[in-house]
Every structure is written in structure tokens, then in C-alpha cells.
Chains A and B, each alone.
Chain A
């Protein structure tokens, strides 16, 4: 698109509302009406919209500009070349077919208003451009908080929600899908729509909150959210368990699962990520697998946790120690973004991690990981990182391997096109190839000869239904 054509956009949106950023056109609407106007104009002019100041609209990247996906990483995306920027890391931009379609970035950071706050009802609403730091500050003034620990303080609410990023507190408090009670969004038709409301319990209408959270900006632009907020954490403590191997990690997981303890975070890491200090305190050799559990309460309550956890450690023959300056450690916990994400039923997740580490080792690499042990959701990285064809092949190999562990296991690689994980998810689970651990899941409802639609195909279909012109993000999903 010519500079002259973009000049018209500058005129429409004004100096505040339009900018060039590293050679890319960026719209910065000041409110939801202006956002809707931008979407309508873009639709009329055949321009594609990518939401998020960081550039990429892929789930993994949209959330956290502070954590490894800065705008500059989208080096391939310049004016007039819309296809290249689906991935913040830029590693596999070729995976998205390049279409000569102009791209307009949508940066909502001017929209950061606190829309309402009722501390007595534990509810509050913001524009989607409000940052995590702003949200935290507003709530802290009333002794309340939101468990937004999946990105840095500069990440916007909209980005966190689009990517459905969450951190360790997801264990105790759920994801945004659990605490967002109302949503405002601009559809591909440029209409402003709402779901939910301002109250903590509400089942009127389809759950647009759940639909749009985690949709990576591909169905609509989230412009405002209402949340159920929580009383601030009481005094917290964290205990780290040093584990000899995956088998020890699995034993600890199962033991804790059956205990009455109500932890607020429960992580497992290989020790090189997450800032546990395990690998950084001068110890020789690879850092040990470490489980960290966090709890809150009065001194009497925390004493009970300490006692129980010490007993469990003794019984399991593992070393447990209190983590010093734990709040600071948790603040740093998600600072390093890991390029891969995996999930599996909690009872098989550790086994899958073990096999993943084996798979990495057979290629001469080590597996780094960090994630929610009790839930079975982890971030992963290979060291050294894979590149090129090997990188592109790895998720496929993983999915084949994982399907033998459990049909519902999934992997998302931020270097893949945005829809690949959905399609990949279909491979194991929907073909019912699952054997071995946990394969009983499908029971007598196994596919048989039925016409079984794959969920990933349905997602693509829904994308086309709600955004037929492919206005939001890469439109090549149906390929």
C-alpha cells in the first residue's frame, strides 16, 4: 500500500491515533468507537489487522512484549508485506503463506481506562489496553488482586487475554477464562459486541468471554473486560523440593494430589528456568528437577503447611528447603519466555515430560521446562534451540510420540502457524490412536465408524464464519 494511501489513515485518526513504528503502520485508537471505525475502514480497504503492540498475533507472542517478543522481532514484516509477521520470533514466517495484503497493527495502549471498580463486590472493569502494572496498582489500593502473573507488568490485559497467558497462580486461581465475567469486543463486521456483564455469576447468552479469551485476536478485537477480582494474598511461603528424576517428580505429584493441602502455586522446572537459584548458585553439572509449592495464610496455617510438606519430603526421601525472598523469585518466574507449550492430563504429564526429554536427548539436546505440575501444563525449550527444517519437524514428531502416551496431549510451537497446534491436537486425540497410558479415556464412546469432525477443523470453520474476509490475522488457516 502506498504511503499516500496510508496518509489518508493518518488524517482520519489524527497524530495520536496513527503512527509508523519501524516501518509499520500502527493505529492507536482512543476508544472502542474509534477501534470499530478502524476495523470497518480496514475491511473496506482490504487491509489486514493484527492486534497487539508487540506485533505478532499468535497466542504465545501477543502477551508479553517484556519477555522476548519485542516489536523488532517481526523484522520480516514491512509495509505491503502482510504475510511475514505471524510469529514474533520470526523463525518460521515462511510457514504462513505470504499474501500481498497490507497490514495495519492495532495498538490499544491508549485505551487504558478503569471502567468501574466495586471493591465491595470484588468486581472491576478496564479497557483492554490497561497494563498489568496499572491493574495491579488499582487493586492493591483496596487490598485486592488479579492473578495476572503470566507476563510482565507492561503486558496489556487484552494481550494476556488474547493469548490466555497464565502463570503459577493459575493453579490456585484459574485462567482468565475463569475470572473474566464480561467482555467487549469489535467484530470483523466492525460491530461493538458484549458478552457477560458486571456480576460474578451470570449465565445469560453464549459465553463470549470463553470464546474470545485465547482466540489470539483472530475472531474479534477485545476492547474491554470486566473481572471478578480476589482478596490480596495473605502472607506467603514457598518450599522447593529437589528431585532426582522424573519418577521422583511423579511420586511427589501424586502424593500431594491426595493431600488436603490447598496450594496456590505448584510448579515443576528443570532448574534452568524460573529463577529457583538451583542452577545459578554455583552448583556443578545440570540443575536438578525442582518442584516448588507456594501457600498462604496466617502463621498457624503456614506452620501446618510446613509440617505436612516436611513430612511428605521425609517420607519421599527428597530434600525440601524454604525459598528465600520467594515473592521476588515468583516475580521473575515467567520472565523468560519458552517457545513451546505442552499440556497433558495431569497423571501422565510427568511421563510425557520424561519422554520429551528422551526425545530431545536422542537429538543431542537437553530439555528445559517450567510449568504447572498439578495441572499438566508446561512451557518447554530445547537447548540448543532447533532451527530450520528440524524445528519445523519437531512438533510433528512430538505429537506422534505423545499420542502413544495420551490422545489428549497437545503441543504448541510459537514458530508454527497459529492454527497448527489445533490441527496437531486433532492428530492424536481425534483419530483415537491413543494407546498405553490413559488410553481408556474414550471408553465405549470411541470413534468407531462415525463421522467424527476434528475440533481443529471446526475452529477453522468458526474462524471463517465469524471473520469471512480474514480481517484479523493470517487468513490462510484453511490451507
Chain B
């Protein structure tokens, strides 16, 4: 408290009266991000420039306070939540597009630029920024960098790290480090790649150099409709095996698509057990061939019907169902927990059955809407947060689902990040030596541990033992990891 009393007027002098939120109500608005975790920040600050970020970091260092960087707060792993107090550093007011250099296939932006805004701004050039998280209308590019965010189209084009070539980062002591740049393949260690996905634990990003990609000539969107979930799952591996890489390959199970349809009217048939939303991009000739091949694979795998969107409007409707799905879920249950796990694409069927069994055992409804093409599951665990014990029950089910993913050779997160949601689950996939190495790496950039503390790396060494005690068979999974 002493520290806060001392730093507050200095921050206010630096950032102006509207640059600091200190009242209880204002701070309460920043207790959450898009996930289920919460924590109350001591202060929230809104710098407008890299210089102000530097000054905030220097002050925080002087007063020994933690810094939690935050973009739009749409993250789903509690990455932007003040787990144990500290200052939330919102980068929302740094939203300038600094340069667009189409001939260099690059743009340079401030971290608060909204993901979709960049693509919209440059749409006349024929180029766009590829990563497209479902929250792209709100989420910021700085947040995408912190979490190494994905999206439906990462199947063909990769996650955020594949589209970032340089960063400007303010380090814990207020010094500025520029990594990479506009040139390709810069020599030496890939500090840019290390920073992307480091969840705000290594530095505060104040500028991002991104790749711009030529828009495809042709796009075709297919909806494959199934009476059995297993058939849809089999289609996923059959498409992979056929050597076709769609731009996106999404799956919605019957429960989820009905909920979506009620809210969005995307055109998903209400009596189906699952649908696949498949998008193919490229040259017209290529797209026509691949669409025909995919349609044949779907039918062969048991699709009841395969529809192709006739025009952009129909395509937009099909995607609206996918992209607005999370919003639609609010209609059927007060709360839901969006999980994020990854499995090999060959295991989609068995894992979906396993998830259903977990839901039944715990008496919870679980829907599935996910990036099937890269095995990135998003089970939605529905619960009523007003009832005591329900959130805990949902968390337990979620943990069990993640364990199932790990047993199948998968990972605990494909695109949402570890944050404070899953730091304790890291020992499911990493050994103590792995985690120690990561801790030591963090030490190089964030020696006092004041940057986003309590995120990504488990705090307590005992957690591996805890995890193994609950599920001893996981020991083997860990040993057989690589």
C-alpha cells in the first residue's frame, strides 16, 4: 500500500488524470480477461507512447511493483489478469499503424492496433494480415504477439509467430530492445521468435513488424453435414491424408451448431450431428480442383450432404456462425468455459468420445467447436456460475480434458496460451529440467520477475508431483514425449 501511495501521483503526473485508474470500481473492470480467472489490479495505466511505457516501467521498477501488460482483454487464459496485484499496463491507446510497405510485404504497427483494423486499412492494396482469431474485431496485435494467437486460417498459414518479423520491446528495466526487422532471416538468435508467445513475461511490446500476405485469387467455402460425429472426425484425417491443405477446416458438433443456429442463422442444418466448415484458397483452377476433391472425400467418409457457398454473402453467413459462436452460447447457459487443447489430427474421433464421457460423468454439458484441421480442440464446458461449486466442477472437467489431450500425444494449449489458467498443467508436458531451462531463460530478460508474474511457468515445483499423484499413468506420457 505504501508503494502504491508513492507511485500513484507520479504516474498521474506522467500520464495525466485520465491515464491512471485507481478507484475500486474502475479497477474492478480490469479484474477479468476473456477467461474464467480473475484478480484485482492495484492500478491500471494507459500510456500513449513508447516513452510513456518506458517511464511506467522505470517507475514500477523503482517501487518494486509488478507490471501486467494488456491489450483488449479478449485472451482466454488469464494472461492479462493481475494474479497477485500490480499495475495493469493497457496498450489500448497505442493504436497507430506506423507504416505500410507493400513492396516489402511488411507493416509496422503499435501494439494496440486491432487485428482486423490492419487488414481493413490495407484492403485496397490486395494484401492482408493473416492471423484471424475469432476475436479479431476486438483483439489487438500486441495481444496476438503475447499469446502467439491462432485462428481458423492458421491451418494453412501458421500462427502469429509466422507473421511477425520484428519487435520493439521495452524490457523490465525500461530499456528498449529492437529485435528482427523488415528483412528476412536476420542472423543470430531468433529473439523475435522467443518474444512472440512469451505472454508478457519477457518485455512489453511497443511496436510490431508484421508480414503482409497477398490475398488469394479465389476462395471457396464448403459445409459438409454429418449424421454421425465420428464420420466428420474421420473426414479430417482423410483430407489430411489426401494431401490437401485447406485454408481452414472447422468442426461444430450438433449441440453447438444448434445453439449457434438459434442465434446467428448461419444455415447449419438443425438435425445434423456435426458439420465441417472447410475453406479452400488459391488460384481459381486450384480451388476448383481441391474443392471437388474435398467434396469427394467428405462424401466418401459419410457426409450426408456437402454444400458449397454460392457467393460472398453465403460464405459470410457460414463463417458468422463460426466466428460468433461464443457469443451465441450465452443464450443457453449463464457461463461457459472455453477450453483449448491440441491432439494429433488422427485422434479427433476418440478424443471427442472421451470428452463426452467426461461431461456425462460430471453432469456437465460440453459442446465442441474447433479447428479440426490442426487438431486444436475448443470444448465449451457449460456451467452456472451462480451455483456454488459449479465453476470448480467446470475447471475439474477441463483439466481432465487437457489430460486426455496429453495422453493422446497432444498439448495443453494450441493458441490461447498458458497464462494463469494452465501454469500448473505445464508439468503434464514438460519435465522439471525443461521448466527450469525456461525459468532461466526468463531470468535473462525479467530478472526480478515483475513482468506478468504468476503466468506460464508453474510457481511451485511440487506441481509435477501433484499432477502425477492424481494420474500416475501420465508419467509414461511425459517420458515418451519426444
Inter-subunit contact B104/A345 (CB<8 Å): yes
Between A187, A345, A375, A447, the greatest number of chain B beta carbons within 10 A of the residue's beta carbon is seen for A345
Please pick, from B150, B207, B214, B433, the residue contacting A201 in the complex, using a CB distance under 8 A: B150
Inter-subunit contact A120/B240 (CB<8 Å): yes
Chain B CB within 8 A of A322 CB = no
Inter-subunit contact B181/A441 (CB<8 Å): yes
Inter-subunit contact A211/B176 (CB<8 Å): no
Please pick, from B182, B241, B417, B422, the residue contacting A408 in the complex, using a CB distance under 8 A: B182
Chain B CB within 8 A of A390 CB = no
Chain A CB within 8 A of B78 CB = no
| Nearest Cβ on chain A to B294's Cβ, whole angstroms | 14
Nearest A-chain residue to B166, judged by Cβ: A408
Binds A, one of B23-31, B408-416, B464-472: B408-416
Chain B CB within 8 A of A261 CB = yes
Inter-subunit contact A376/B184 (CB<8 Å): yes
Inter-subunit contact B482/A182 (CB<8 Å): yes
Contact partners of A377 in chain B: CB under 8 A: 183-185
Inter-subunit contact A297/B285 (CB<8 Å): yes
Chain B contacts with A in 118-155, Cβ cutoff 8 A: 126, 147-148, 150, 154
Chain B CB within 8 A of A83 CB = no
Contact partners of B282 in chain A: CB under 8 A: 262
Give the docked Cα–Cα distance between A425 and B190 (Å): 13
Please pick, from B181, B375, B443, the residue contacting A200 in the complex, using a CB distance under 8 A: B375
Please pick, from B240, B418, B430, B482, the residue contacting A115 in the complex, using a CB distance under 8 A: B482
Chain B CB within 8 A of A158 CB = no
Chain B CB within 8 A of A175 CB = yes
Inter-subunit contact B214/A257 (CB<8 Å): yes
| Nearest Cβ on chain A to B55's Cβ, whole angstroms | 11
Binds B, one of A1-9, A280-288, A353-361, A454-462: A454-462
Contact partners of A195 in chain B: CB under 8 A: 434
What 1/0 flags go to A422-461 for Cβ under 8 Å of B?
1001000110000000101101110110111101101101
Please pick, from A122, A164, A197, the residue contacting B410 in the complex, using a CB distance under 8 A: A197
Binds B, one of A67-75, A298-306, A327-335: A298-306
Nearest B-chain residue to A115, judged by Cβ: B482
Nearest A-chain residue to B376, judged by Cβ: A201
Chain B contacts with A in 147-175, Cβ cutoff 8 A: 147-148, 150, 154, 158-159, 161-162, 166, 168, 171, 174-175
Inter-subunit contact A260/B217 (CB<8 Å): yes
| Nearest Cβ on chain A to B348's Cβ, whole angstroms | 10
Between B104, B286, B371, B456, the greatest number of chain A beta carbons within 10 A of the residue's beta carbon is seen for B104
Please pick, from A372, A421, A441, A443, the residue contacting B184 in the complex, using a CB distance under 8 A: A372
Inter-subunit contact B189/A211 (CB<8 Å): yes
Which size class do B's interface residues fall under? Answer: 35 or more
**Contact A120:B189 (CB < 8 A) given known A205-B426, A206-B438:** no
| Nearest Cβ on chain B to A40's Cβ, whole angstroms | 13
Chain A CB within 8 A of B357 CB = no
Inter-subunit contact A120/B283 (CB<8 Å): no
Contact partners of B286 in chain A: CB under 8 A: 262, 297, 301
Chain A CB within 8 A of B101 CB = yes
Chain B contacts with A in 86-143, Cβ cutoff 8 A: 96, 98-99, 101, 103-106, 108, 126
Give the docked Cα–Cα distance between A199 and B348 (Å): 13
Give the docked Cα–Cα distance between A49 and B236 (Å): 46
**Contact A254:B197 (CB < 8 A) given known A376-B183, A445-B206:** no
Nearest B-chain residue to A144, judged by Cβ: B243
Give the docked Cα–Cα distance between A263 and B75 (Å): 35
Please pick, from B185, B198, B416, the residue contacting A343 in the complex, using a CB distance under 8 A: B185
**Contact A226:B482 (CB < 8 A) given known A199-B342, A206-B441:** yes
Chain B CB within 8 A of A118 CB = yes
Chain B contacts with A in 172-200, Cβ cutoff 8 A: 174-191, 193-194, 196-198
Give the docked Cα–Cα distance between A177 and B191 (Å): 12
Binds B, one of A94-102, A130-138, A212-220, A380-388: A212-220
**Contact A407:B181 (CB < 8 A) given known A198-B344, A207-B161:** yes
Give the docked Cα–Cα distance between A475 and B434 (Å): 24
Give the docked Cα–Cα distance between A425 and B178 (Å): 11
Count of A interface residues, CB-CB < 8 Å: 105
Give the docked Cα–Cα distance between A301 and B293 (Å): 14
Inter-subunit contact B206/A408 (CB<8 Å): no
Nearest A-chain residue to B126, judged by Cβ: A258
Contact partners of A192 in chain B: CB under 8 A: 433
Give the docked Cα–Cα distance between A359 and B101 (Å): 27
Contact partners of B54 in chain A: CB under 8 A: 450
Please pick, from B98, B101, B435, the residue contacting A438 in the complex, using a CB distance under 8 A: B101
Please pick, from A125, A143, A444, the residue contacting B482 in the complex, using a CB distance under 8 A: A125
Contact partners of A187 in chain B: CB under 8 A: 437
Contact partners of A348 in chain B: CB under 8 A: 104
Inter-subunit contact B183/A261 (CB<8 Å): no
Query: What DSSP secondary structure best describes chain A's contact surface?
Result: mixed
Inter-subunit contact B103/A429 (CB<8 Å): no
**Contact A194:B482 (CB < 8 A) given known A205-B418, A301-B289, A456-B188:** yes
Inter-subunit contact A445/B177 (CB<8 Å): no
Nearest B-chain residue to A445, judged by Cβ: B207
Inter-subunit contact A164/B426 (CB<8 Å): no
Nearest A-chain residue to B281, judged by Cβ: A262
Give the docked Cα–Cα distance between A412 and B422 (Å): 41
Contact partners of A231 in chain B: CB under 8 A: 243-245
Inter-subunit contact B433/A346 (CB<8 Å): no
Chain A CB within 8 A of B51 CB = yes
Inter-subunit contact B190/A462 (CB<8 Å): no
**Contact A206:B482 (CB < 8 A) given known A192-B433, A200-B374, A451-B175:** no
Contact partners of A304 in chain B: CB under 8 A: 283-285
Contact partners of B241 in chain A: CB under 8 A: 119-120
Chain B CB within 8 A of A191 CB = yes
Between A123, A191, A199, A450, the greatest number of chain B beta carbons within 10 A of the residue's beta carbon is seen for A199
Contact partners of B21 in chain A: CB under 8 A: none
**Contact A201:B154 (CB < 8 A) given known A194-B430, A226-B482, A443-B99:** yes
Give the docked Cα–Cα distance between A204 and B168 (Å): 23
Give the docked Cα–Cα distance between A164 and B186 (Å): 11
Please pick, from A209, A215, A346, the residue contacting B104 in the complex, using a CB distance under 8 A: A346
Chain A CB within 8 A of B315 CB = no
| Nearest Cβ on chain A to B52's Cβ, whole angstroms | 12
Chain A CB within 8 A of B73 CB = no
Chain B CB within 8 A of A406 CB = yes
Inter-subunit contact B175/A453 (CB<8 Å): yes
| Nearest Cβ on chain A to B301's Cβ, whole angstroms | 13
Chain B CB within 8 A of A236 CB = no
Cross-chain pairs A/B with CB under 8 angstroms, 11 sampled: A118-B344, A122-B240, A122-B345, A143-B243, A201-B414, A203-B417, A206-B441, A300-B285, A445-B206, A447-B176, A452-B176
The residues of A with any CB-CB pair to B shorter than 8 Å are: 59, 115, 118-123, 125, 143, 164, 166, 174-175, 177-178, 182-184, 187, 191-195, 197-211, 213-215, 219, 224, 226, 231-232, 254, 257-258, 260-262, 297-298, 300-301, 303-305, 341, 343-348, 372, 375-377, 406-410, 412, 419, 421-422, 425, 429-430, 438, 440-441, 443-445, 447-448, 450-453, 455-456, 458-459, 461-463, 465-466
Apart from A198-B410, A206-B194, A298-B289: 15 A-B pairs, beta carbons within 8 A: A199-B343, A201-B150, A201-B376, A203-B416, A204-B429, A210-B161, A226-B482, A261-B283, A262-B286, A297-B283, A301-B286, A450-B50, A450-B176, A453-B176, A462-B189
